[in-house]
Chains A and B, each alone.
Chain A
Amino acid sequence: MSGAPVGPGQLHASLRGLAGVDEVGAASRAAMLGTRSIKASSKARAIDLAIAMVDLTTLEGMDTPGKVRALCAKAMRPDPSDSGTPAVAAVCIYGDLVATARNAVGDAVHVAAVATAFPSGRASMAVKIMETEQAVAAGADEIDMVIDRGAFLAGDYARVFEEISAVKEACGAARLKVILETGELRTLDNVRRASWLAMLAGADFIKTSTGKVVPAATPTVTLVMLEAVRDFAVAHGRKVGVKAAGGIRTSKDAIKYLVLVNETVGNDWLTPDLFRFGASTLLNDLLLQRQRMRSGHYSGPNYVTVD
């Protein structure tokens, strides 16, 4: 599949023309890669890489400026007891808290705002565009938008395409992450089609989930999305990133995702510019593992900061 499609009919035909995904085969490939044994120096390297790939996230109704400032401090200096710990990639917050976050982090980490009526995506196009523009104006340099799953499942790919294109335009220089909400798309064929749709419409990242729907990120879904960015890069010469978000809580899980990246798209994608974890609790487990690898023993939850 190459060249941007023009009409809705052609878009439909080209997305339907993508090779199907065999669910059993994809799941068994992801499971096999989950058996890789990453130890010693590889593990130390993987943990630092995973920390640098975290979009440290708070997306709650009870978020306050105070909470966001604390999150920002943690993002810049995840482990106060070890200054060698890398900073995370970004903080990920609601749009109204962007200014607070930007003031707190300066240029040290990216500020990502969710937009487009997150998490459901149910609002008019005008509202979605305005929300995006306001977040960017307030200092967000990354926008995490959601696709209209209703339109996608109804087969109205053109509408989804237009919405992503319009939001991309509203982003200006900010990078656009497109959340597919794979837990609502259900089939891996849909995941592959939605991935291509988002990339064709201009996504800089494709992202699994909002974190508000179960299942969120799974190794199998992430595998299919990685295959999509790999094939898209071959066809269009542009590298699109992948963000696995929701449900990844342990270092062990994070390392499994890095193995998936390594063996599906290779070394080029093993950078925070092209792979991210959307997570909140994952960071502390990574820090505990990092401390253990340096000191040789486990500390405990009180040796890392709560936020």
Chain B
Amino acid sequence: MTNEPTGFPYAPAPESTAIVDISSSYGIFVDGAFVEPVDAPRFKTVNPATEEVLSEVCQAGAPEVAAAVAAARRAHDEVWSSMSGAERGKYIYRLARLLQERARELAVLESMDNGKPIRESRDVDLPLAAAHFFYHAGWADKLEHAGMGRDPRGLGVAAQIIPWNFPLLMLAWKVAPALATGNTVVLKPAETTPLTALAFAELCQQADLPPGVVNIVTGDGRTGQLLAESEGIDKVAFTGSTEVGKQIQRSLAGTRRRLTLELGGKAANIIFDDAPLDEAVEGIVNGIYFNQGHVCCAGSRLLVQESIVEDLLVRLRRRLQTLRVGDPLDKNTDVGAINSAAQLERIVALAESGDAEGAERWSAPCTLPERGFWFPPTIFTSVTTAHRIAREEIFGPVLSVLTFRTPDEAVEKANNTPYGLSAGIWTEKGSRILWMASRLRAGVVWANTFNQFDPTSPFGGYGESGFGREGGRAGLAAYLQERVN
């Protein structure tokens, strides 16, 4: 199943699934308990690497969303908003520790439901999710130092809608700051990846979190829309596609409900001729093939100085041949399964537009499993800024390579996108890094690295990549109302 790009075959090293206990069906989590909604339709969640059904969850409708919002309101007004920061922090620390204690189980569950390699869920998603809870737990009793006035307060009930690419990590990005700032939440995980959010609901019970502080409703976009348009909420935090983000913004216009959006991207990863080339190759691979390219800040547009493009492409293609594509639960897998049939279809369609518009496709030679949803790590060269694959977010393991001649041209091309979430600069020249960073229109600029995340560092975008920041002190502002008196 896995590829053997070289002659030193690694025997299969599958992580055991015995540690995971998945129920055959789940209700929604409201007011501290799992409830089985009457009449709500059910849908299946599958393992994208095998197409095997993992469980059934319910499609929450208006009554379920209303119940969840009401529970969150009650918990906010009666318990959470009046609790001292130190006391709130105690619960959040507890959740952080529980995430660490159950990290292995949650990592396996995440890889099963999402298709991402276990190495990634084990070494990136889970440690970062716990770090977000630890970081924000520390803020809970120090909000007067957040730069939001002497006595800042939470907003109330936060509706949080998260995507399928980092299910548990995005939950942590949303839930941890909301709880630390005294808000209660109704969270809707993506329809293809609800299982770790439902496992998190168990963690809330285990942590004795007061009922109603965290509520979780499952369902597709219709549930999300019901939640975002609910009268009883004070804020919507959405991470997902730009299209849906715009829809939410339209529906919230004219209401007093606040909104933060973290949307798509088409990040430029810029390689200068004086870059540390071997590490730049790693950065390119990490930028676009990490998490199968299902990353909103993925470095999907590679901008290479023309004088080194051939050398760099030789190195990059050679490196791609060592990527191990296959069983997400194998500890040696680098690239796992595409999250869903629908996403695979989008990737295939966009890649075909690249062929049709005259770009040259090269895919790493690898044998893909017969079942499940798969796409090989792919590079398009001879790409111009007019091609769809250079403009639209593919959200898959597909890299578009463009060239530039001068630093000005690099900036111009990098900024030539409606998005502006992230960018990468590779050069050994420190002054050039600063010169570039001050001109790039992107929320995050990485220098000589890519896809590095930390709870202390604010993350968010420009333009159609959204607004509002998550993480750091700036991230707290999205959940606080300023009070100066």
Chain A residue nearest to B330 in the complex (CB): A37
Any B CB within 8 A of the CB of A306: no
Contact between chains at B7 and A39 (CB < 8 Å)? no
Give every chain A residue within 8 A of B322 (Cβ-Cβ). Answer: 263
Contact between chains at A19 and B7 (CB < 8 Å)? no
Bound complex: CA A40 to CA B9 (Å): 11
Contact between chains at B279 and A42 (CB < 8 Å)? no
* Contact sample, A vs B, 27 pairs, CB 8 Å cutoff: A19-B274, A19-B277, A19-B278, A20-B274, A20-B275, A22-B276, A22-B448, A24-B449, A25-B282, A25-B448, A28-B282, A29-B279, A29-B282, A35-B331, A36-B10, A36-B332, A37-B10, A38-B11, A39-B11, A41-B11, A42-B10, A227-B278, A259-B8, A262-B8, A263-B322, A266-B7, A267-B6
Chain B residue nearest to A192 in the complex (CB): B278
Any A CB within 8 A of the CB of B13: yes
- From 1 to 46 in chain B, residues with beta carbon under 8 angstroms from any chain A beta carbon are 6-11, 13
Any B CB within 8 A of the CB of A270: yes
Could you list 5 further interchain pairs (A-B, Cβ under 8 angstroms) beyond the known A22-B428, A25-B278? A20-B276, A29-B279, A36-B332, A263-B322, A267-B6
Within the complex, which residue of A19, A20, A42, A258 is in contact with B11, where a contact is CB–CB below 8 Å?
Answer: A42
Looking at the assembled complex, report how far the CB atom of A30 sits from the nearest CB atom of chain B, in whole angstroms: 10
**Can you list, as one digit per residue, whether each of A38-65 has a CB less than 8 Å from chain B (1) or not (0)?**
1111110110000000000000000000
Within the complex, which residue of A19, A39, A270 is in contact with B8, where a contact is CB–CB below 8 Å?
Answer: A270
Contact between chains at B6 and A19 (CB < 8 Å)? no
Give every chain B residue within 8 A of A267 (Cβ-Cβ). Answer: 6-8
A19-B278, A42-B11, A270-B8 are contacts. A25–B123 as well, Cβ < 8 Å?
A: no
**Can you list, as one digit per residue, whether each of B121-139 has a CB less than 8 Å from chain A (1) or not (0)?**
0010000000000000000
Chain A residue nearest to B277 in the complex (CB): A19
Interchain Cβ contacts within 8 Å, total number: 70
Chain B residue nearest to A234 in the complex (CB): B314
Determine which residue in B9, B274, B277, B322 has the highest number of CB atoms from chain A within 10 A of its CB, and name it: B277
Q: How many of chain B's residues have a CB under 8 angstroms from any CB in A?
A: 23
- From 1 to 33 in chain A, residues with beta carbon under 8 angstroms from any chain B beta carbon are 19-22, 24-26, 28-29
Q: Which residues in A have some Cβ–Cβ distance to B below 8 Å? A: 19-22, 24-26, 28-29, 35-43, 45-46, 227, 258-259, 262-263, 266-267, 270
Give every chain B residue within 8 A of A21 (Cβ-Cβ). Answer: 276, 278-279
Interface SS majority for chain A: helix
Give every chain A residue within 8 A of B11 (Cβ-Cβ). Answer: 38-43
Looking at the assembled complex, report how far the CB atom of B94 sits from the nearest CB atom of chain A, in whole angstroms: 29
Any A CB within 8 A of the CB of B119: yes
A39-B11, A270-B7 are contacts. A24–B275 as well, Cβ < 8 Å?
A: no
Give every chain B residue within 8 A of A227 (Cβ-Cβ). Answer: 278
Contact between chains at A26 and B279 (CB < 8 Å)? yes
Any A CB within 8 A of the CB of B163: no
The 4 closest A-B pairs by CB, nearest first: A25-B279, A267-B7, A37-B13, A22-B276
Give every chain A residue within 8 A of B283 (Cβ-Cβ). Answer: 25
Looking at the assembled complex, report how far the CB atom of B281 sits from the nearest CB atom of chain A, in whole angstroms: 9
Chain A residue nearest to B315 in the complex (CB): A231
Chain A residue nearest to B278 in the complex (CB): A227
Give every chain B residue within 8 A of A22 (Cβ-Cβ). Answer: 276, 279, 428, 448
Within the complex, which residue of A25, A42, A262 is in contact with B449, where a contact is CB–CB below 8 Å?
Answer: A25
**Can you list, as one digit per residue, whether each of B280-306 has a CB less than 8 Å from chain A (1) or not (0)?**
001100000000000000000000000
Give every chain B residue within 8 A of A26 (Cβ-Cβ). Answer: 278-279
Bound complex: CA A263 to CA B276 (Å): 19
Looking at the assembled complex, report how far the CB atom of B317 sits from the nearest CB atom of chain A, in whole angstroms: 13
Looking at the assembled complex, report how far the CB atom of B327 sits from the nearest CB atom of chain A, in whole angstroms: 12
Contact between chains at B6 and A39 (CB < 8 Å)? no
Contact between chains at B277 and A35 (CB < 8 Å)? no
Contact between chains at B276 and A39 (CB < 8 Å)? no
Contact between chains at B9 and A42 (CB < 8 Å)? yes
Give every chain B residue within 8 A of A35 (Cβ-Cβ). Answer: 119, 123, 331
